[in-house]
Amino acid sequence: MGASLSNLTEGSNGSATGRPGLGDIPESCVACVFLYLTPPEICNLARLNRAFRGAASSDAVWETKLPPNYHDLLDLMPPERYQNLSKKDIFALLSRPVPFDDGNREVWLDRITGRVCMSISAKAMAITGIEDRRYWNWVPTEESRFHVVAYLQQIWWFEVDGVVKFPFPSDIYTVSFRIHLGRFSKRLGRRVCNFEHTHGWDIKPVRFGLSTSDGQQASSDCCLDETEQDDANGNHKRGCWIEYKVGEFIVKETDPVTELRFSMKQIDCTHSKGGLCVDSVSIIPNDLKQRRR
């Protein structure tokens, strides 16, 4: 049995040994198998021989890996970037972030499943008091995919709202805010965090919410700071990026276009709060989010 398998995989053509090899499999049959494999698996198998390379370049294979509305993603780019590209090259192009809305939003395809993901910068959101530097500042950083985050020093009315209209393919999506307690910087090549302004997030929870144009709604409450600290480990929510789940929404049909509204609020004016970085909101298919965790 082992010898037979060894002979089958030897070389690109089995005619030299008189036994069948991978090179004897018709390209059309290989393409049929590739329909059930993931893009990384297809690319790995393409290195075996000519038939596998040919099947791995087939438009018929890669058409099934692209979402049904991939043309909407291409429309976000200049036509010269994707004209005359094969479906394989289009998949490779869309699996890298495609910026739009002046670079404040990005959309891309998951490299394994080909499903649509999106990230929205704080720059694309409505933030109460953002124009007043006594409350908020924009902080440049390499820790954000958008290279800038909104840092709150202190405020009484905290409210961040966003909206997006996009032809999301049919799927179940999870919406999350990416938040950081404390202001971070680099000193002598090391990352350091300053919690001088961090306060008020352990008194009452923040309310996260979302709603869609077809009537779906979701909300959740969460305290961003720990009221009790571990003497050994300190406050585990401080000094690191945490993704807070807002909720989920379902898209059944790409048409009509889904309009999604999301928010993050703590509008109890009995106490001030500050020392918080708001980076972005992610919209990712639900099981992909679970896989990343």
- The reported pTM is 0.86
Between the alpha carbon of residue 221 and those of residues 37, 173, 176, 264, 285, the distances in Å are 40, 19, 13, 10, 22
Confidence of residue 293 (pLDDT cuts 50, 70, 90): low
Distance between CA atoms of residues 222 and 276, nearest Å = 14
With tokens 């950083």, the residue in question is 141
The mean pLDDT of 60-83, rounded to a whole number, is: 94
Quick one: tokens of 146? 């958008």
Distance between CA atoms of residues 51 and 24, nearest Å = 8
* pLDDT over threshold 70, residue 1: no
* pLDDT over threshold 60, residue 182: yes
Between the alpha carbon of residue 135 and those of residues 55, 127, 144, 223, 247, the distances in Å are 57, 11, 21, 21, 28
With tokens 């902080």, the residue in question is 139
pLDDT at 194: 92
Asked if residue 54 lies in contact with residue 61, where contact means CB atoms within 8 angstroms, the answer is: no
Does 106-292 carry CATH code 2.60.120.260?
yes
Strands 98-100 and 105-109 come out as antiparallel
Helix (H) or strand (E) holding 53: helix 50-56
Of the candidates 276, 280, 281, 239, which has an alpha carbon nearest to the alpha carbon of residue 152?
276
Residues contacting 185, CB < 8 A, separation 6+: 191, 192, 194
pLDDT at 22: 66
The mean pLDDT of 90-111, rounded to a whole number, is: 97
With tokens 């094969």, the residue in question is 86
Q: What φ, ψ does residue 246 adopt, rounded to 5°?
A: -85, -45
pLDDT at 7: 41
Distance between CA atoms of residues 130 and 125, nearest Å = 10
Domain ranges of the chain: 2-63, 106-292
pLDDT tens track for 254-291: 778 999 999 999 998 889 999 999 999 999 999 887 66
Of the candidates 260, 271, 261, 141, which has an alpha carbon nearest to the alpha carbon of residue 206?
271
* pLDDT over threshold 80, residue 200: yes
Confidence of residue 2 (pLDDT cuts 50, 70, 90): very low
Average pLDDT, the chain: 88
* Degrees to nearest 5, angle at CA 33 with 13 and 18: 20
